[in-house]
Amino acid sequence: MAQSMSMITLPLPLGMGSVNCYLLPAGDGYILIDTGASHVRHMLRRELGKLGCQPGALHLIILTHGDFDHTGNAAYFRAAFRSKIAMHADDARMAEAGDMFVNRHKPNAVLRALIPRLFGFGRAERFTPDILLEDGSTLSTYGLQAQVFSIPGHSRGSLGILTAAGDLICGDLMENTKKPALGSLMDDRDAALHSAAKLRSLAIRTVYPGHGKPFSMDELSGDQLVA
């Protein structure tokens, strides 16, 4: 069994880049944070196997937010690995309805219809979470010393998970595809700036983003964090 957190990078559809999932040892098993898009399900299953995570050993799947490039395999692994799914209530309807624009500023109808197809999020991928997390939730019940933070901005129900070791999994609030930065797709930029400011006061050693490479909080330039 791996003793430390493992980062699993999976491709996005149509060469749109990649998305990161994180597998953390927790108690006598594992917690998986984010699951990639559905078209790379076999890759994720293979990577979990290589890391020693077999059906029955994945106690919890945490979703940093409701977007299909992060939630595409949650329903599948919940069933196949007998896990539970945890996320914030404000993004739960995205997964239940198969609509990333629930609770967000709405795009045009074409985009709204196209996106589930693009990310392969059909009826089989929809789910209702078993556990609702909120700001201040802890994960000790699941064998992980970590705290959950509500960090709205990219979506209303976006979550950050900060481990006792100082590793922050930040979902899409921040990214590092070219350089460490606030996420390029924000639903509410003011909320995002507020979330980033809140994180700055915490003891964070390394930030692990949904897209791109890990970075230290100091690498995030100050002008990224001004409204």
Binding region for Zn ion (CB under 5 A): 69, 172, 210
**Distance of closest approach, residue 169 Cβ to Zn ion, in angstroms:** 12
Q: Which residues pair with 182 in a beta bridge?
A: 174
Q: What is the dihedral of CA 94, 146, 29, 78, to 10 degrees?
A: -10
d(CA 133, CA 222): 30
**Distance of closest approach, residue 27 Cβ to Zn ion, in angstroms:** 28
**Distance of closest approach, residue 57 Cβ to Zn ion, in angstroms:** 26
> CB–CB of 36/72 below 8 Å?
yes
Identify which of residues 77 and 142 has a Cβ nearer to Zn ion in the complex: 77
What element of type H or E holds 208?
strand 206-209
**Distance of closest approach, residue 52 Cβ to Zn ion, in angstroms:** 26
d(CA 50, CA 78): 19
Identify which of residues 140 and 224 has a Cβ nearer to Zn ion in the complex: 224
Residue 1 corresponds to which tokens in the numbers above?
């069994």
